[in-house]
């Protein structure tokens, strides 16, 4: 009986161990199957990219382009699926710089058989005006296409009574400066239109984008004074303060010194104010004789 009990006990232990091992293996397989992520099915298409750097004014040629795979769900708007489709309607001209392996988009190209016209860079409803500059008026050549600038007019506004009043006491100067156009976008510097130029370029002209009213102001300002540009910081969207600046606005020793020196000169050369005009009146009183009096002729 003892031997039979030992045999059955050993069989039970082996059977229990086998059952536990099989259950553990089944649970592990279930966990692995549940944790395995589903592989997403991505459909790829073709897209045209630049095979070499493309700059403003260049005419596209097939040798400058390449086709690469691109996920269909993330194709950018205005992309071309093949070089043949891009060149099908005619030659196109680059309007915005494109780097190698960057998608060639319709927004950066001219129309079929088009040309590199400045009108293609303008926002609808806006105008382009050109301002003559030099190293000083052009902020040392650090203005590049895409920057934002203010146009400052400096002139002699002696005929304006308000300016004469503000300038009184500051050497009597009527030289003023004021902002004609604020927050204007720079389109081109000189004859170039590369928005990715980072090195300074001293050019003789800068073309900016303004409204129709702004174009009239700039055209008028060219004939009444000197124009210069003021470069704005990147991301600044606020408007510049309006108003006219005169020498009296400098204050401090500069304004006080000029005012004092010129004030003394004005006093030295000024005429003394004229007194009232008098008339002599003679009155005769009997035996007392005559008496004369000085009276103001301007009084009633």
Whole-angstrom Cα distance, residue 206 to residue 218? Answer: 13
Q: Which pLDDT score, from 0 to 100, does residue 266 have? A: 40
Q: Mean per-residue pLDDT for 76-95? A: 87
The pair phi, psi for residue 95, each rounded to 5°, is -110, -15
Length of the chain (residues): 300
Share of the chain above pLDDT 90, in %: 8
In the structure encoding, which two tokens stand for residue 234, read together? 């990147």
Q: Does the pLDDT at position 75 exceed 70?
A: yes
Domains of the chain, residue spans? 44-116, 125-162+171-250
Q: Does the pLDDT at position 238 exceed 70?
A: no
Whole-angstrom Cα distance, residue 86 to residue 258? Answer: 67
Of 66-80, 181-195, 244-258, give the lowest mean pLDDT range. 244-258
Classify residue 146 as left (phi > 0), alpha (psi -120 to 50) or beta. Answer: left
Confidence band for 134, pLDDT divided at 50, 70 and 90: confident
> What is the per-residue pLDDT across 97-115, written as a single tens digit (0 to 9) for each?
888 999 999 888 877 777 6
Q: Which pLDDT score, from 0 to 100, does residue 231 have? A: 86
The residue with greater pLDDT, 234 or 226, is 226
Whole-angstrom Cα distance, residue 280 to residue 283? Answer: 10
Check if CATH label 3.90.1210.10 holds for domain 44-116: yes
Task: Check: CB of residue 176 under 8 Å from CB of residue 246.
Answer: yes
Q: Does the pLDDT at position 277 exceed 60?
A: yes
């Amino acid at each position: 009986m003892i031997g039979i009990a030992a045999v059955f006990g050993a069989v039970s232990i082996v059977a229990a161990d086998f059952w536990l091992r099989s259950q553990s293996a089944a649970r592990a397989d279930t966990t692995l199957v549940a944790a395995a992520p589903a592989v997403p099915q991505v459909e790829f298409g073709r897209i045209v990219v630049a095979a070499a750097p493309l700059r403003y004014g260049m005419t596209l040629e097939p040798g400058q382009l390449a086709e690469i795979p691109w996920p269909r769900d993330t194709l950018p708007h205005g992309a071309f699926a093949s070089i043949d489709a891009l060149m099908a309607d005619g030659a196109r001209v680059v309007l915005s710089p494109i780097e190698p392996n960057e998608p060639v988009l319709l927004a950066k190209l001219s129309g079929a058989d088009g040309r590199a016209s400045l009108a293609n860079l303008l926002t609808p409803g806006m105008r382009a005006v050109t301002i003559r500059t030099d190293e000083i008026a052009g902020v040392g050549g650090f203005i590049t296409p895409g920057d934002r600038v203010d146009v400052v007019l400096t002139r002699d506004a002696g005929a304006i009574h308000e300016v004469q009043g503000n300038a009184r006491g500051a050497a009597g100067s009527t030289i003023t400066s004021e902002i004609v156009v604020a927050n204007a976008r720079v389109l081109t510097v000189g004859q170039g239109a590369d928005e990715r130029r980072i090195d300074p370029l001293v050019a003789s002209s800068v073309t900016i984008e303004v409204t129709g009213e702004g174009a009239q102001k700039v055209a008028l300002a060219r004939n009444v004074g000197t124009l210069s540009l003021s470069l704005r910081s990147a991301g600044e969207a606020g408007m510049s303060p309006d108003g006219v600046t005169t020498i009296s606005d400098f204050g401090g020793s500069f304004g006080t010194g000029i005012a004092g020196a010129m004030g003394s000169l004005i006093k030295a050369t000024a005429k003394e104010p004229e007194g009232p005009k008098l008339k002599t009146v003679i009155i005769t009183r009997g035996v007392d004789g005559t008496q004369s009096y000085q009276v103001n002729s301007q009084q009633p």
